[in-house]
A = this chain, B = another copy of it.
Amino acid sequence: MALIVQKFGGTSVGTVDRIENVADRIGKFRNNGDDVVVVVSAMSGETNRLIELAHSIDEKPEAREYDVLLSTGEQVTIALLSMALNKRGIPARSYTGTQVHILTDSTHNKARILSIEEKKMRSDLQQGRVIVVAGFQGVDEHGNITTLGRGGSDTTAVALAAALKADECQIYTDVDGVYTTDPRVVPEARRLDKITFEEMLEMASLGSKVLQIRAVEFAGKYNVPLRVLSSFDEPYFGGEENDGSNGTLITYEEDEMEQALISGIAFNRDEAKLTILGVPDKPGVAYSILGPIGDSNVEIDMIIQNIGADGTTDFTFTVHRNDFSKAKEVLSKVAEELGAREVVGDDKIVKISLVGVGMRSHAGIASKMFKALAEETININMISTSEIKISVVVDEKYLELGVRTLHSAFGLEENA
């Protein structure tokens, strides 16, 4: 007897057969007595087909029209899924972003949701209908169609769940939950039953690409319980039993969760670092270095500054590997202007991060981490910490060894 928002991505609705499977799954939830609101993406491949069409006309297609074009992808899926539901005798009604008035700002191609009109949906739910909403799209105050950017369907689902005060927002994917780390690197990686919003944000932004960061932020802000599940498993109807079909619940910290020191290990392969050595140490130096980098549209990740003894300072930061040469060029000019000694860089580095809310109340996590890495003679290049994570930069070749070592040192394995 719950109200559940379920989101199915492009792979889960990629063919007519899979759409029929999704309809069957929704039918089981209806039989269980649940009210269901469904959010779907475009069928896999469809968005790329539309993008290609646009680019065959204009390399930089007009942003407003690009949204008009791309939004048709989800519209096709909502119609097909609603047909499949109605065929099964499950009354269903599809809605575009415009039709349920998912009001966004006017930033075409990456609009932000401002509000959702839930009156029409409430009335449909009361009449026993399943509601099928097109993900990824909205409408601005002038009636223009907008899109939320890639992966925006997750955000649509969370926003709908927030507006309708749903009991749970279920994100169906091709994995069955969030893992302690990437199982391709550590086969013993364990699926987490629960994780906090904050941890999930750190895991997501650090490269565990199960959920869109914005969707997690949104869910956290409006306190929407978010569950990541596999669209290939049997339906999960609640309860605490860990039978593997319950995925991972992302929620606020609870008492029982305090025991877990570390939730997982995230990593990012696409890092590069740049160091400017011997910069005269005076106020404003950080800005004079990072300002020009930001101006050239390069995003900066970690930043470290060491103050030297001779009145100069060394300044190191990491960027995406694709931006390495561009950033190095900009930095070399800056170094000249500032009278710095030298610019050095390395684009064969990776970042490994321990993530866990337990860090807040437990000392000694960092030293345990450094000790474990030292025992494998893995040299640490950079260290950066936040309240619930510790990140280290190491040479690329140590990625797998480092992740496995930490996974084991913190007892994250399946049967630990």
Contact = CB atoms under 8 A, between A and B. Distances in A.
A65 B82 contact: yes
Nearest to A23: B57
A57 B72 contact: no
Q: Which of A50, A53, A75, A80 has the most CB of B within 10 A?
A: A80
Contacts of A82: 62, 64-65, 68
Interface string A150-168: 0000000000000000000
B61 A83 contact: yes
A93 interface: yes
Contact of A80 (B57, B86, B94): B57
A355 to B, nearest CB: 41
A128 B311 CA distance: 62
A66 interface: yes
A76 B80 contact: no
A79 interface: yes
A69 interface: yes
A386 interface: no
Contacts of A99: 143-145
Interface string A353-382: 000000000000000000000000000000
Interface in A1-42: 16, 19-20
Contact of A94 (B19, B68, B75, B98): B68
A208 B19 CA distance: 42
A57 B69 contact: no
Given A50-B76, A76-B72, A83 B57 contact: yes
Contacts of A72: 72, 75-76, 79
A78 interface: yes
A20 B53 CA distance: 12
Contacts of A68: 75, 78-79, 82, 94, 96
A69 B81 CA distance: 10
A394 B292 CA distance: 86
A122 interface: no
A86 B98 contact: no
A306 interface: no
A79 B69 contact: yes
A297 interface: no
Contacts of A61: 83, 87
A254 interface: no
Interface string A76-115: 1011101110110000011010110000000000000000
15 contacts: A16-B53, A58-B83, A58-B86, A58-B87, A61-B83, A62-B86, A66-B79, A68-B75, A69-B75, A69-B79, A72-B72, A72-B75, A72-B76, A75-B75, A96-B145
Query: Which 9 interchain pairs have the tightest Cβ spacing?
Result: A69-B79, A72-B72, A68-B79, A62-B86, A65-B82, A65-B79, A58-B87, A61-B83, A65-B83
Interface of A: 16, 19-20, 50, 53-54, 56-58, 61-62, 64-66, 68-69, 71-72, 75-76, 78-80, 82-84, 86-87, 93-94, 96, 98-99, 120, 143-145
